[in-house]
C-alpha cells in the first residue's frame, strides 16, 4: 500500500516507528493541555479561584462524556489499522466511512441527552451551591459543542489508523492557538465569564475538526475509489465490527471517569481548601499524562497493523520497546515535578487571595504522590492499548472496572475517614490494580492468538 507520508509499522525498526508516531501525538496532546492550561490560567487569574473551581467541578463529567467520545472514535480506528496492515483497502474504506456515520449519530444523541440533564448531572456529583451557576454555564456550552469534539477525534483516529499522526497534530496546534486567542477576546475583550472560556473551546475544536477531516479525506486517494462507491453506503457488517470495537473502548473511558466522579464527590465532602486543590491538581496532572497516552495510542496502531499482518514476534518487540520508553518518561516526569511542581501550580492561582498558600501545598502533595508512582500508569497504558490493538476491547474494558472499583472503595470508605492523604493515593492504587489485570490478560491473549495463528 502506498499511502504517502503514513507509517507502515509492519516493517523496519519497531522502536523507531513507535517514537516517530508518538512524537506528533505527544506534541499535539501537549498543545491541547497547554491551551487547557491557558484556559484555566486565564479564568483563575482574571476571574479568581472560585470561578476556576466552578469550571473544575465539570472536569470529571467532561471526562466521562468526552472520554466516551474519544474512546469510541479511537476504537473505530482499530479495525481500520488492522485492514491497513493486511493491505485490504476495500474493507478499510468501508470501515472509514461507516465510522463517520456512526460518529455523527453518537454525537447527536449525546448532545441532546447531556444538554437536557446538565443541572441534574452537577447536582448528582454534589456540586457546592457556590459553584453551581458558573459550573452549569460552562458545562452546558461544552455539551452543546460535543459534535465538534467528536468530529476532530474521528478524523484524527482515521489518520492515525493509517499511520499518519502528523495531520492531527497540525490541526490540534491550530485549535490550541485559536482557543487561547478566543479566550483573551471573550474574557478580557468582551468581559465574559466562564461561558467565554467554554465558547472558545467549542469554536476551536469545531474549526480543527472540519479542517482535519477535509485534509485526511483529500490527502489519501486510497480512502476513495474512482470506480465503485459501495464503501459510501451503510454496511451492516462494518457497523457491527466498528461498534464491537468502539463502544467498549468508549465505555472503558467512561467507566474510568465514573471512578473519577466518585473521587470528586468524596473530595467535595472535605474542606474547601481541598476542593480547590483537587481542581488545580487535576489540571497539572493532565500535563504529564499525554505522553503516556500518546505512547499507548502509537502502540495500539503498531499492534493493530502487525496483528493484521500476523507478526506476533514483532508485536512483542514493540511492547518491550514501549515499556522502556514509558519508564524513561516516568523518570523524567518525576524530576520535573520535584523541581518545578509548585511553580506550575502557581500558574493557576491568583496571588494574594486568602488561603492560597494552603491550596498550593495540598495540590502539590496530590501531584507529587501521583508522579512518584506514575510508572504504574505507564505500564497500564502499554498493556491496555496492546489488548485493544489485537481487537479485544471488551477485555480491555474490564480494566476500567478495576480502576472504578478501586476508586469506589477509596471514595466511600477510606477518604471520609482518613481525609486528603487517602485522596492523594487513590489514583496510583487504581492504576496498579488495572495494570496487573491487563498484564495477565495480555499474556493469556497472546498465547491463545499465537496458538490459533500457528494452527492456520
CA 9/CA 77 separation, integer angstroms? 15
pLDDT of residue 225: 66
Q: Can you read off the three cell numbers belonging to residue 228? A: 465503485
CA 382/CA 380 separation, integer angstroms? 6
Q: Give the whole-number percent of the chain exceeding pLDDT 70.
A: 91
Tell me how far CA of residue 5 lies from CA of 42, 104, 165, 371, in angstroms. Answer: 38, 28, 10, 36
What pLDDT digit, counting tens, does each position of 54-97 carry?
Answer: 676 667 788 788 889 998 999 999 899 888 888 888 888 899 99
**Interval 397-425 mean pLDDT:** 95
Q: Please state the pTM of the whole predicted model.
A: 0.75
pLDDT of residue 374: 97
What pLDDT digit, counting tens, does each position of 348-359 carry?
Answer: 777 767 678 999
Q: Where are the domains of the chain?
A: 14-455
Averaged confidence pLDDT in the chain: 87
Between 223 and 392, name the one with better pLDDT. Answer: 392
CA 396/CA 141 separation, integer angstroms? 32
pLDDT of residue 4: 47
Q: Dihedral (C-alpha) 286, 245, 93, 109: value to the nearest 10 degrees?
A: -70
Grouping H, G, I as helix, E, B as strand and the rest as coil, residue 235 is: coil
Sign for the CA dihedral angle at 433, 438, 443, 447 comes to positive
Phi, psi of 271 (to 5 degrees): -65, 155
Grouping H, G, I as helix, E, B as strand and the rest as coil, residue 55 is: helix
Q: Give the whole-number percent of the chain exceeding pLDDT 90.
A: 48
How far is C-alpha 76 from the chain's CA centre? Answer: 15
Question: Is the confidence at residue 288, as pLDDT, over 90?
Answer: no
pLDDT of residue 261: 82
pLDDT of residue 365: 98
What pLDDT digit, counting tens, does each position of 103-143 carry?
Answer: 999 999 999 999 999 999 888 877 778 888 888 888 899 99
What pLDDT digit, counting tens, does each position of 18-67 carry?
Answer: 998 888 878 877 776 666 666 666 776 666 666 776 676 667 788 788 88
CA 196/CA 439 separation, integer angstroms? 44
Burial class (CB in 10 A: 0-12, 13-18, 19+), 49: buried
CA 314/CA 15 separation, integer angstroms? 11
Amino acid at each position: 500500500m502506498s499511502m504517502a507520508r503514513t507509517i507502515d509499522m509492519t516493517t523496519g525498526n519497531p522502536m523507531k516507528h513507535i517514537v516517530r508516531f508518538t512524537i506528533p501525538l505527544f506534541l499535539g496532546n501537549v498543545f491541547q493541555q497547554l491551551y487547557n492550561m491557558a484556559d484555566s490560567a486565564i479564568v483563575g487569574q482574571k476571574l479568581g479561584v472560585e470561578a476556576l473551581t466552578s469550571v473544575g467541578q465539570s472536569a470529571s463529567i467532561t471526562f466521562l462524556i468526552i472520554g466516551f467520545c474519544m474512546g469510541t472514535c479511537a476504537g473505530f480506528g482499530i479495525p481500520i489499522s488492522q485492514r491497513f496492515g493486511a493491505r485490504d483497502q476495500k474493507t478499510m474504506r468501508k470501515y472509514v466511512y461507516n465510522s463517520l456515520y456512526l460518529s455523527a449519530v453518537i454525537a447527536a444523541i449525546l448532545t441532546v441527552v447531556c444538554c437536557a440533564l446538565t443541572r441534574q448531572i452537577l447536582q448528582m456529583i454534589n456540586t457546592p451551591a457556590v459553584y453551581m451557576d458558573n459550573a452549569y454555564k460552562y458545562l452546558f456550552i461544552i455539551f452543546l459543542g460535543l459534535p465538534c469534539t467528536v468530529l476532530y477525534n474521528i478524523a484524527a483516529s482515521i489518520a492515525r489508523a493509517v499511520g499518519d499522526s502528523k495531520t492531527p497534530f497540525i490541526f490540534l496546534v491550530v485549535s490550541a492557538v485559536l482557543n487561547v486567542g478566543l479566550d483573551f477576546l471573550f474574557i478580557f475583550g468582551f468581559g465574559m465569564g466562564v461561558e467565554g472560556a467554554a465558547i472558545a473551546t467549542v469554536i476551536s475544536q469545531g474549526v480543527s475538526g472540519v479542517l482535519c477531516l477535509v485534509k485526511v479525506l483529500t490527502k489519501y486517494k486510497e480512502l476513495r475509489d474512482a470506480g465503485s462507491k459501495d464503501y459510501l453506503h451503510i454496511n451492516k457488517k462494518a457497523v457491527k465490527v466498528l461498534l464491537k470495537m468502539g463502544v467498549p473502548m468508549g465505555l472503558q473511558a467512561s467507566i474510568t471517569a465514573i471512578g473519577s466522579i466518585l473521587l470528586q464527590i468524596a473530595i467535595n465532602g472535605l474542606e474547601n481548601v481541598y476542593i480547590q486543590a483537587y481542581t488545580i491538581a487535576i489540571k497539572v496532572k493532565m500535563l504529564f499524562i499525554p505522553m503516556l497516552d500518546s505512547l499507548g495510542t502509537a502502540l495500539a496502531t503498531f499492534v493493530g497493523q502487525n496483528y493484521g499482518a500476523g507478526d506476533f514476534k514483532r508485536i512483542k518487540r514493540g511492547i518491550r520497546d514501549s515499556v522502556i520508553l514509558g519508564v524513561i518518561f516516568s523518570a523524567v516526569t518525576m524530576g520535573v515535578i520535584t523541581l518545578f511542581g509548585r511553580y506550575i501550580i502557581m500558574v493557576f492561582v491568583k496571588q494574594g487571595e486568602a488561603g492560597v498558600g494552603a491550596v498550593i501545598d495540598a495540590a502539590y502533595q496530590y501531584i507529587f504522590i501521583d508522579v512518584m508512582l506514575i510508572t504504574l500508569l505507564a505500564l497500564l497504558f502499554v498493556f491496555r492499548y496492546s489488548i485493544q490493538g489485537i481487537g479485544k476491547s471488551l477485555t480491555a474494558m474490564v480494566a476500567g472496572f478495576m480502576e472504578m472499583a478501586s476508586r469506589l472503595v477509596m471514595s466511600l470508605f477510606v477518604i471520609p475517614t482518613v481525609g486528603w492523604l487517602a485522596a492523594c493515593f487513590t489514583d496510583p492504587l487504581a492504576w496498579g490494580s488495572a495494570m496487573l489485570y491487563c498484564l495477565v490478560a495480555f499474556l493469556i491473549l497472546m498465547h491463545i492468538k499465537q496458538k490459533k495463528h500457528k494452527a492456520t
